[in-house]
Amino acid sequence: MNEVARKSLGRFVPLIVFAALVAFFVIGLVWNQTHDARFVPSPLIDKPAPAFRLPRLEQPTQFVTKADLLGKPYLINVFASWCFACGDEHPTLMAYRDKFGIPLIGYDYKDAPQDARAWLDRHGDPYHEVLTDQSGDTAINFGVYGAPETYLIDAKGVIRYKHIGPLTPDVIAKELEPKIRALEQAGT
């Protein structure tokens, strides 16, 4: 390359640098549009679910433990009567509760039992079983930091999938259902 050509290329350097900055800016904008920074991937995926012992909403003197639920896959849906987004999610759960093919267990998070009962009476109860965690201490072991959150736990008690935020038909079709079917095929 001769000197003159090199010089004329050199004058494009600021333009190239500027284009690179614009590219970073656009990538950042698009990333923020498609990714919600509130949804942090859980480090608990493919790890055993924490042990728990939680009272039933309907019979608070009866406790359900992780060991009681081993043997078949199940879903845990963290909700609360105070949780606004749970109301958005609720119709989806009502529509899909029998289509999942596995039990849907409600996890009433930091809620007064009477409030949870009233909420389920008013909107309908999509759950096969509801457990209550009034203090929220067990929820910390699950890495819960907002509601709604949904966990898929396999027959061996391992967390296979977690969704933060309301489940939608789209999320169920694209992410949750394939995971459930995969568990069924693997027989775990």
Strand extents, DSSP E, the chain: 53-55, 63-65, 74-79, 104-109, 129-133, 149-153, 159-164
Minimum distance of another protein from residue 136's CB (angstroms): 6
Contact flag: residue 145 with another protein (CB under 8 A): yes
Q: Does 11 bind another protein (CB under 8 A)?
A: yes
Member of 141, 168, 178, 181 binding another protein (CB under 8 A)? 141
What is the smallest separation between the CB atom of 46 and another protein, expressed in angstroms? 13
CB distance 86 to 75 below 8 Å: no
| SS3 of residue 164 by DSSP | strand
What CA–CA distances, in Å, run from 101 to 63, 178, 184?
Answer: 24, 12, 10
Scanning residues 66 to 125, which ones bind another protein (CB under 8 A)?
A: 110
> Of the candidates 1, 2, 38, 59, which one interacts with another protein according to CB under 8 A?
38
Query: Total residues at the site for another protein (CB under 8 A)?
Result: 23
Is residue 22 within the footprint of another protein (CB under 8 A)?
A: no
One residue of 1, 35, 37, 185 binding another protein per CB under 8 A: 37
| Nearer CB in complex with another protein: 17/29 | 17
Q: Is the peptide bond before 60 cis (omega within 30 degrees of 0)?
A: no
- Please tell me the distance from the alpha carbon of residue 151 to that of residue 4, in angstroms, as a whole number: 64
Q: In the numeric block, which tokens belong to residue 135?
A: 């203090």
Contact call for residue 1 and another protein (CB under 8 A): no
Q: Is 165 in the site for another protein (CB under 8 A)?
A: no
H or E segment to which residue 25 belongs? helix 13-34
Based on the shown chain and the rule CB under 8 A, indicate whether residue 4 belongs to the binding site for another protein.
yes
Tell me the backbone φ, ψ of residue 49, rounded to 5 degrees. Answer: -60, 145
Contacting residue, 16, 23, 85, 140, with another protein by CB under 8 A: 140
Residue 66 CB, nearest distance to another protein (Å)?
A: 16
* Per-residue CA distances from 143 to 18, 66, 78, 153 (Å): 42, 16, 11, 14
Q: Which residues bind another protein (CB under 8 A)?
A: 3-4, 7, 10-11, 13-14, 37-38, 40-44, 110, 136-137, 140-143, 145-146
